[in-house]
Amino acid sequence: MAAAGGDKIIVRALLAAGADPGAHLTVPPTSFTTPASVADEYGHPEVAQLLLSATAARAEKATANGAAAPDVPEGNGRG
């Protein structure tokens, strides 16, 4: 909801609290989407970029610690 509303303050607070910026959300009629694609779809490119950057940073941290990198979505997820 914060991504759809373009609320950067709440998005930053959720990320600071450990929310997964790359979480897959089930949104009919599509099979899944991400918070970044929701933000982009609702016209909030700054929030989308914030979430994509957080996802990339999380992937870099995971690989630096020897874990397999999580999927990092590219663009807005609409192909």
73 occurs within a structural domain = no
Domain range for 14 = 2-64
- Residue-wise pLDDT for 33-55, tens only, equals 788 888 888 899 999 899 889 98
> Helix/strand/coil (H, E, C) string of the chain?
CHHHHCCHHHHHHHHHCCCCCCCCECCCCCCCECHHHHHHHCCCHHHHHHHHHHHHHHHHHHHHCCCCCCCCCCCCCCC
70 occurs within a structural domain = no
1 Cβ contact list (under 8 Å, min separation 6): none
Q: Please indicate, yes or no, whether the overall pTM of this predicted structure exceeds 0.85.
A: no
Q: How many domains does the chain have?
A: 1
Task: Give the residue ranges of the chain where pLDDT is below 70.
Answer: 26-32, 67-79
